[in-house]
Amino acid sequence: MARKFYNRKDFTTPLSASQMRVLNEKRASFSAMGEQVQYDVFLSHSIKDMALIKSIRDVLEDSFRVSVYIDWEEDAGTPRDEMADTVKRGMDRSRTFLIVKTDNSDDSSWVPWETGYFDNKDNDRIGVLLIEDDDSEFHHETFEHREYLKNYAILGPEDIVDFIKNGSSYIKRKIDRNNLTKAPFVVVKPEEMVRPHRNDWLGK
């Protein structure tokens, strides 16, 4: 089974109005529980990728039924001088940490800072989602000046559930970390979904 990386275009197909209505209702009830909420995934990213991050969140929540923390969504309106502490609390309330690696994230000061914080907490729960831009493709220099990312599992769509359930060491054992294969992000729902921390997130 090969690792995969993706193009931004793979995340441009929007969910239907009914799918988004269900997700928004669940998000509202989930967020209303405040800081007692525990999330399945913390997305570390560049704010320049806002549209992409929203699309990735939709895919994770709709297809994999996991709860996702995004700082500017869950804690919107946080004063700038309080943002670092707010982001730390978001990471403390998240089971796993997913780095969305793009050209923009390479220029972000937040991504390596967040990664370092979560790595000290639990480095087996950090994964990387590689997203290529329209005008570039990943190659041997993909991790140049970002070598620290090689320490973590690169995740394809078939890895998400296993990563959240079992951590990155399980993924590293299962897949050759050096075999990157370009492929469309086609979501195949696994037979066994990850159950979030609250049954009402799944509507059960």
Separation CA 44–CA 110 (nearest Å): 8
Average pLDDT over residues 6-32: 81
Other C-beta atoms closer than 10 Å to the C-beta of 10 total 20
The amino acid at residue 194 is V
Asked whether the beta carbons of 180 and 138 are under 8 A apart, the reply is: yes
Average pLDDT of the chain is 78
Residue 197: pLDDT band with limits 50, 70, 90 = very low
CA-nearest of 49, 37, 5, 50 to 181 is 5
Separation CA 183–CA 10 (nearest Å): 9
What is the structure's pLDDT at 185? 45
pLDDT, tens digit (0-9, with 9 covering 90-100), for 127-175: 998 888 766 666 656 777 678 888 888 887 778 888 888 888 777 666 5
Q: Give the domains, in start order, of the chain with CATH numbers.
A: 3-15+39-195 (3.40.50.11530)
CA-nearest of 151, 43, 180 to 105 is 43
Other C-beta atoms closer than 10 Å to the C-beta of 108 total 17
Separation CA 141–CA 108 (nearest Å): 18
Separation CA 60–CA 30 (nearest Å): 16
In the numeric block, the tokens 């831009």 are attached to: 133
Separation CA 31–CA 25 (nearest Å): 10
Separation CA 6–CA 137 (nearest Å): 9
pTM: 0.77
